C-alpha cells in the first residue's frame, strides 16, 4: 500500500464516521459514543502495554479521577465543564506522575501488581468519600456546551467524541514515528539496550504512563458529561480489566487496535446482553460475566496477537521510499589521533567475596583498536560493564575524554560518546533495520514529545533517517533498510548493532565479544569492517575470546586473568608471552 492509499482509507473511515449519526438509530449512536470513549482509554493502554510493555490493570481509576473531578467542578460547584476538563486532566496527570515516579522502577510483574493495588485503592476511594456522594454517585452533571450550544443529545456529543478520537489517533501515530516514539517502542524487551543508547528509560516510561493517563482523563471527562451521572461502578477493578481486554483484543501495540478492540468488546457485550436471556432465563446477569471472561481467556490462549496485527498481516505491505539525502546531523568533535581517550585507573569490582576485577589499569588512545582478552572468568565482561556504566566499580577511577565517568549512569556515559554492542545481540526484532539504527541517533537529536506529535520535526527526522541509511550502507546492510531486524542471520545482526552504535557518532566504540557465535566467513567480514572503521579514525575497544580474530586485527592487547591484568602489548609480544600461554593453555610441565 502506498501512502496515498492509506490516506484514502483513513479518509473513507472519517467520512463513514461523519455520516453515521444521520443514518444510525439513536441507540446505535449512543453505543458509538461509548465505543469512542472507551477507545481513548484503550489507545492509551495500547501505548502503555503494547508499545511500552507496561501492563496496567488500573486505567479505569484514571478515568474515574477525571470523571469525578469534572463532576465535582461542574455539578457540585456549578462551574463550566471546560474548567472541569482542565481540572480533571491536571489532576489525573498529576496523580499518574506521582504514581509513576513511585512505581515505574518496579520490574516485570511487580509493576503490574502495583497497578492492581492503586487501581483498587483509588476505586475504593470513590465509593467512600463523603463529598463525592459515596456509592450513590453524583447526579445532574451539566452537558458540555460551546457558548449557548449545549451538547445534550447523543448525536450532538458524537462529533466531539469522535473528533477527539481521530485527533488522538493522528497525533499518536505521528508520535510513534518520531524520536520519542521509537524510544518508547524500544522499551519492550528490557532497559539495558535503551540506556546504552543514551535514553533515560525511566523518563520515557513515565512519559508513556502519563500520556496513557491523559487519554484516560479525556475519556473520563467525556463519560461524565455524556452519561450526566457517575457512580463508582464504571471505574472499578472489573472495568480496568475490560479496558485491558479491549486493547489486547484489538492488538496491543496498535493504536487503531484500541478503537477496534473497544468496538468489538462493547458490541459483543451488548449482544451478550441481548442473547443470553434467550439461552438462560433469569440468570443472564451472572452468565454475562462468565461468558465474557471465558471468551477473554480463550482469546488469550489462542489469539494473543490481536485483531489489527492479524488483519494487517494479510494486507499488502506499505511501500516506503528510501530516505532522501538530507543535511547531516551535528557531529561531535573527535579527539586528535594518538590522544589519550580512556583511562582506567586501579579499577576494582567485587561480588560479595569474589573480586571479579582487581586493580586493573589501562589506557585507550584515539585511533587505535585495543583488545581486552583473557580466559573464561577472567573478568572481561565485568570490566566491560564497569566501562559502560552497567556496573559500578568499587574502587578506582575511569576517565573518558578528560572527564571522570566512574559514577555516571549508563545513559550519561552513552551520551558522552561511548557506544556499545552486546554479547547477546540486543535488537528490536519487530522494528526495521533503519529504525533500529535510528535508535542510535537518539542522543544526537532533540525532537520533543509535542514536536514529534505535531510533525514539527521533519527536518531533523529526515537527517536522522538519512544518517541511519548511511551507517547501514557503511556496514554493508544498505540494500534492504525496511527489512525487520528479526529476519537477519546472527552475523548480520551483530553488524546491525555496530551500525546502530555508529549512528550515535561515538568517540569510542566498545564491542562485547563481537565474534562470538559467528561462522568463519562472518568473522572475516566483521574484521574487514572493523579495519575500515579504524581507517576512518574511529577508536575501538574489543572484549573478545577468540584469539585468532583478535591477533590479526588489533593494535594492542590487554590480557586479564583471574580479575588482574597479566600483561599488555602488541599482538606479537602477547603471542610469545609465557604467562599468557600458561593462562590459556595451562602451565608447561
Partner 1 sequence: MTSDIAAILGIDGIATGAVYALVAIGTVLIFTVTRVIFIPFGDIAALTALTLAALDAKRFPGTGALVVILACLATLIEIISLLRAGEPRLLPRALAFYLVLPLAVVGAAWLTMRLDPPLAVRLVLALMLIMPISPLLDRIVFRPIADGTVLLLLTVSVALHFALVGLGLLFFGPEGVRTEPLTSFSMELAGVLISGQTLLIVIAALVFSGLLYLFFDFTLVGKSLRATAVNRTGSRLMGIRPARAGTIAYLLGSLMAGVSGILIAPVNTVFYDSGFLIGLKAFVGAIVGGMTSYPGAAIGAVGVGILESFASFESSALKDVIVFSLLIPILIWRSLASLHSEEEIEE
* Closer residue to partner 1 in complex, CB, 103/421: 103
Stretch that binds partner 1, among 97-105, 322-330, 470-478, 522-530 (CB under 8 A): 97-105
As a whole number of angstroms, the distance between CA 363 and CA 345 comes to: 8
Q: Measured from the CB of residue 61, what is the shortest distance to partner 1 in angstroms?
A: 11
As a whole number of angstroms, the distance between CA 251 and CA 306 comes to: 4
* Closer residue to partner 1 in complex, CB, 256/427: 427
What angle do the packed helices 520-535 and 490-503 form, to 10 degrees? Answer: 20
3-state secondary structure at position 260: helix
Q: Does the footprint of partner 1 cover residue 102 (CB under 8 A)?
A: yes
Using alpha carbons only, give the angle 385, 390, 391 rounded to the nearest 5 degrees. 75
Q: Measured from the CB of residue 581, what is the shortest distance to partner 1 in angstroms?
A: 36
Q: Does the footprint of partner 1 cover residue 294 (CB under 8 A)?
A: yes
* Closer residue to partner 1 in complex, CB, 205/534: 205
As a whole number of angstroms, the distance between CA 242 and CA 264 comes to: 12
As a whole number of angstroms, the distance between CA 310 and CA 263 comes to: 16
- Non-local CB neighbours of 24 within 8 Å, separated by 6+ positions: 32
Q: Measured from the CB of residue 54, what is the shortest distance to partner 1 in angstroms?
A: 10
* Closer residue to partner 1 in complex, CB, 296/482: 296
What H or E segment, with its residue span, contains residue 292? helix 284-302
DSSP string spanning 60-80? HHHHHHHHHHHHIIIIIS---
Residues linked to residue 539 through DSSP beta bridges, in sequence order? 508
Query: Is the distance from CB of 437 to CB of 182 less than 8 angstroms?
Result: no
Sign of CA dihedral 76, 77, 80, 83: negative
As a whole number of angstroms, the distance between CA 43 and CA 202 comes to: 21
Q: Does the footprint of partner 1 cover residue 15 (CB under 8 A)?
A: no
Q: Does the footprint of partner 1 cover residue 293 (CB under 8 A)?
A: yes
As a whole number of angstroms, the distance between CA 566 and CA 375 comes to: 11
Q: Measured from the CB of residue 252, what is the shortest distance to partner 1 in angstroms?
A: 11
Q: Measured from the CB of residue 5, what is the shortest distance to partner 1 in angstroms?
A: 28
Using alpha carbons only, give the angle 324, 326, 332 rounded to the nearest 5 degrees. 135
Q: Measured from the CB of residue 42, what is the shortest distance to partner 1 in angstroms?
A: 15
Q: Does the footprint of partner 1 cover residue 532 (CB under 8 A)?
A: no
* Closer residue to partner 1 in complex, CB, 106/551: 106
Query: Which grid coordinates are listed for 12?
Result: 473513507
Q: Does the footprint of partner 1 cover residue 191 (CB under 8 A)?
A: yes
With CB under 8 A as the contact rule, the residue among 3, 304, 392, 480 that binds partner 1 is 304
Q: Measured from the CB of residue 249, what is the shortest distance to partner 1 in angstroms?
A: 12
Query: Is the distance from CB of 342 to CB of 400 less than 8 angstroms?
Result: yes
Q: Does the footprint of partner 1 cover residue 300 (CB under 8 A)?
A: yes
Stretch that binds partner 1, among 205-213, 427-435, 441-449, 525-533 (CB under 8 A): 427-435
* Closer residue to partner 1 in complex, CB, 241/369: 241
Strands 539-544 and 508-512: parallel
As a whole number of angstroms, the distance between CA 284 and CA 275 comes to: 9
With CB under 8 A as the contact rule, the residue among 239, 245, 260, 357 that binds partner 1 is 245
Q: Does the footprint of partner 1 cover residue 120 (CB under 8 A)?
A: yes
Q: Does the footprint of partner 1 cover residue 248 (CB under 8 A)?
A: yes
Which parts of 130-189 interact with partner 1 (CB under 8 A)?
Answer: 188-189
Query: Which grid coordinates are listed for 205?
Result: 516510561
Q: Does the footprint of partner 1 cover residue 202 (CB under 8 A)?
A: no
Query: Which grid coordinates are listed for 336?
Result: 586528535
Q: Measured from the CB of residue 255, what is the shortest distance to partner 1 in angstroms?
A: 18
As a whole number of angstroms, the distance between CA 215 and CA 283 comes to: 36
Which parts of 32-61 interact with partner 1 (CB under 8 A)?
Answer: 53, 55, 57
333-372 footprint of partner 1 as x/- string (CB under 8 A)? ----------------------------------------
* Closer residue to partner 1 in complex, CB, 16/300: 300
Query: Is the distance from CB of 388 to CB of 196 less than 8 angstroms?
Result: yes
Give contact residues for partner 1 (rule: CB under 8 A): 53, 55, 57, 99, 102-103, 105-110, 112-114, 116-118, 120-121, 124-125, 128, 188-192, 237-238, 241, 244-245, 248, 283, 285-290, 292-294, 296-297, 300-301, 304, 428-430
Amino acid at each position: 500500500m502506498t501512502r496515498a492509499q492509506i490516506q484514502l482509507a483513513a479518509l473513507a473511515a472519517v467520512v463513514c464516521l461523519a455520516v453515521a449519526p444521520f443514518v444510525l438509530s439513536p441507540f446505535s449512536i449512543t453505543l458509538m459514543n461509548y465505543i469512542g470513549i472507551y477507545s481513548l482509554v484503550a489507545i492509551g493502554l495500547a501505548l502503555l502495554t503494547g508499545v511500552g510493555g507496561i501492563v496496567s490493570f488500573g486505567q479505569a481509576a484514571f478515568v474515574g479521577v477525571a470523571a469525578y473531578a469534572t463532576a465535582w467542578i461542574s455539578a457540585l460547584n456549578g462551574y463550566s465543564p471546560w474548567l472541569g476538563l482542565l481540572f480533571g486532566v491536571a489532576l489525573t496527570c498529576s496523580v499518574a506522575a506521582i504514581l509513576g515516579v513511585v512505581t515505574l522502577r518496579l520490574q516485570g510483574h511487580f509493576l503490574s501488581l502495583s497497578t492492581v493495588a492503586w487501581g483498587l485503592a483509588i476505586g475504593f476511594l470513590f465509593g467512600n468519600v463523603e463529598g463525592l456522594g459515596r456509592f450513590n454517585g453524583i447526579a445532574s452533571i451539566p452537558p458540555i456546551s460551546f457558548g449557548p450550544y449545549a451538547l445534550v443529545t447523543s448525536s450532538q456529543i458524537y462529533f466531539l467524541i469522535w473528533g477527539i478520537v481521530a485527533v488522538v489517533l493522528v497525533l499518536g501515530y505521528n508520535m510513534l514515528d518520531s524520536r520519542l516514539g521509537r524510544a518508547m517502542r524500544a522499551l519492550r524487551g528490557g532497559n539495558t539496550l535503551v540506556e546504552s543508547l543514551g535514553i533515560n528509560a525511566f523518563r520515557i516510561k513515565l512519559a508513556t504512563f502519563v500520556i496513557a493517563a491523559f487519554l484516560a482523563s479525556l475519556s473520563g471527562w467525556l463519560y461524565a458529561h455524556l452519561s450526566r451521572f457517575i457512580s463508582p461502578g464504571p471505574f472499578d477493578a472489573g472495568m480496568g480489566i475490560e479496558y485491558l481486554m479491549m486493547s489486547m483484543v484489538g492488538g496491543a501495540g496498535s493504536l487503531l487496535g484500541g478503537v477496534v478492540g473497544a468496538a468489538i468488546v462493547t458490541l459483543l457485550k451488548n449482544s451478550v446482553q441481548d442473547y443470553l436471556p434467550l439461552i438462560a432465563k433469569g440468570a443472564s446477569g451472572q452468565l454475562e460475566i462468565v461468558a465474557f471472561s471465558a471468551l477473554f481467556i480463550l482469546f488469550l490462549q489462542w489469539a494473543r496477537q490481536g485483531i489489527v496485527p492479524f488483519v494487517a498481516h494479510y494486507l499488502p505491505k506499505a511501500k516506503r521510499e528510501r530516505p532522501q539525502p538530507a543535511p547531516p546531523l551535528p557531529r561531535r568533535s573527535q579527539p586528535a589521533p594518538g590522544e589519550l581517550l580512556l583511562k582506567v585507573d586501579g579499577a576494582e569490582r567485587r561480588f560479595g567475596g569474589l573480586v571479579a576485577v582487581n586493580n586493573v589499569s589501562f589506557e585507550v588512545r584515539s585511533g587505535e583498536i585495543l583488545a581486552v582478552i583473557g580466559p573464561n572468568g577472567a573478568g572481561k565482561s565485568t570490566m566491560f560493564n564497569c566501562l559502560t556504566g552497567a556496573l559500578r566499580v568499587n574502587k578506582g577511577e575511569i576517565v573518558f575524554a578528560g572527564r571522570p565517568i566512574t559514577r555516571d549512569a549508563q545513559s550519561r556515559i552513552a551520551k558522552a560518546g561511548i557506544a556499545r554492542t552486546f554479547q547477546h545481540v540486543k535488537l528490536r526484532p519487530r522494528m526495521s533495520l533503519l529504525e533500529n539504527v535510528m535508535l542510535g541517533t537518539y542522543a544526537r537529536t532533540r525532537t520533543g514529545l509535542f514536536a514529534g506529535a505535531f510533525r514539527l520535526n521533519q527536518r531533523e527526522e529526515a537527517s536522522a533517517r538519512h544518517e541511519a541509511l548511511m551507517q547501514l550502507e557503511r556496514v554493508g546492510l544498505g540494500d534492504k533498510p525496511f527489512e525487520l531486524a528479526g529476519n537477519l542471520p546472527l552475523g548480520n545482526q551483530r553488524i546491525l548493532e555496530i551500525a546502530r552504535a555508529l549512528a550515535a557518532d561515538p568517540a569510542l566504540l566498545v564491542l562485547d565479544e563481537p565474534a562470538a557465535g559467528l561462522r568463519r566467513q562472518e568473522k572475516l567480514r566483521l574484521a574487514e569492517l572493523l579495519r575500515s572503521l579504524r581507517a576512518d579514525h574511529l577508536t575501538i575497544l574489543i572484549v573478545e575470546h577468540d584469539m585468532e580474530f583478535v591477533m590479526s586485527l588489533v593494535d594492542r592487547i590487554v590480557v586479564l586473568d583471574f580479575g588482574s591484568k597479566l600483561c599488555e602489548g602488541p599482538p606479537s609480544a602477547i603471542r610469545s608471552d609465557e604467562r599468557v600461554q600458561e593462562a590459556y593453555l595451562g602451565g608447561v610441565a
